[in-house]
Structure 1
């Protein structure tokens, strides 16, 4: 079973006021931390961003960049674009701003993948707001479904996932999904990273 990781790093970071991907997490940029975790757990790692040159110096030479064609079109468009270039059985899709993500957590999740039904397109955590769509697994053959959905003019991850069969990934430590979105978030939790 081959697994690739796609990390989305194309957001505006407008609430943070500076690039979240470059936030210092124990001396390491947050994007690099996410990359290192993914690299230890999956076969290949891709960064989808319109700013590859900006991040090249903080990432290893073997990092694969996918140039996001149009900035700020949203995660679903970026994911769709990346699916045209990434070939594997499963794709771990991650946001770049998950400071509490760990290797152990992802390795535990991966152990469940062989038991996911063939008819299920994704294996994702869920909370009261819906699917945690930027921290979970998708079958690579979801590409056609996603293209069909985008052709309807919709761009909501949740609405697309609600049209497909998704198995729930049970996660005890919900802090894993914390997105560092504001300076207040960073200040409040930086001693825990």
Structure 2
């Protein structure tokens, strides 16, 4: 796999995990905490991997490597607000074209399929702000790629009260990545204890 110098990764680890009952980021999948697994996958492709969380102190010992923990300043604002904060913070640290947004609970990511998606970044039309998987008409924004130029339209959307990722991406010039059965399985995330036990037991 080849690292993409024009891209950084942002992993969101700020969800309440209310249905799960414990911090999903720390739950073990095949012997490894899910947050660590996602970060290691991101590091295959990115020189810079950031983790945005309201409680970064939880993850210091877990994340040994070239990762940087960022303090989420508006916890509870939702993933769209978290994306905006991450974009702004990373734009002051790096000169990259793309931000790869990832949820911390995507334990089934496949590097070969991700490489295919990342290869498409150089071919995306200039007027497209994002390239995001789309499954049966619904976006999968927490494994999507966003140009840093999207900061301004995202700020405007949030300032007008927008919080829906689906609505924003439908309004934004976005390139869709078609999702089939294999990709849908890769993008599965775990929200309930019984789901986790079923597939990880």
Q: Runs in 1 of length 4+ with deviation above 4 angstroms?
A: none
How do 1:22-171 and structure 2 match up within 5 A? 22-87=26-91, 88-128=96-136, 130-171=138-179
| TM-score between both structures, scaled by the size of structure 2 | 0.91
Shift, 1:188, TM fit: 1.0
Asked whether the equivalents of residues 100 and 144 of structure 2 are also in contact (C-alpha less than 8 Å), the reply is: yes
- Runs of 5+ consecutive residues of structure 2 not aligned to the other structure: none
Deviation for aligned residue 1:3: 0.4
Number of aligned pairs?
Answer: 191
* Pairwise CA distance, 1:103: 1.9
Q: More helix per residue: 1 or 2?
A: 2
Q: Is the 8 A contact 1:38 1:103 kept in 2?
A: no
Q: Please, which runs of 5 or more residues in structure 1 have no aligned partner?
A: none
Q: What root-mean-square deviation, in Å, do the aligned CA atoms of Structure 1 and Structure 2 show?
A: 1.2
Task: Determine which of 7, 10, 15 is the counterpart of 1:11.
Answer: 15
> How many angstroms does 1:61 deviate by?
4.4
Distance between the aligned counterparts of 1:62 and 1:53, measured in 2?
16
State the partner residue of 2:191. Answer: 181
CA contact (8 A) 1:93 1:136 kept: yes
SS in 1 for 2:42: helix
Task: Answer yes or no: is the 8 Å Cα contact 2:99–2:147 preserved in 1.
Answer: yes
Distance, in Å, in 2 between the alignment partners of 1:7 and 1:129 is 24
- 1:65 CA displacement: 1.3
- More moved, 91-100 vs 171-180: 171-180
TM-score, normalised via structure 1 length: 0.95
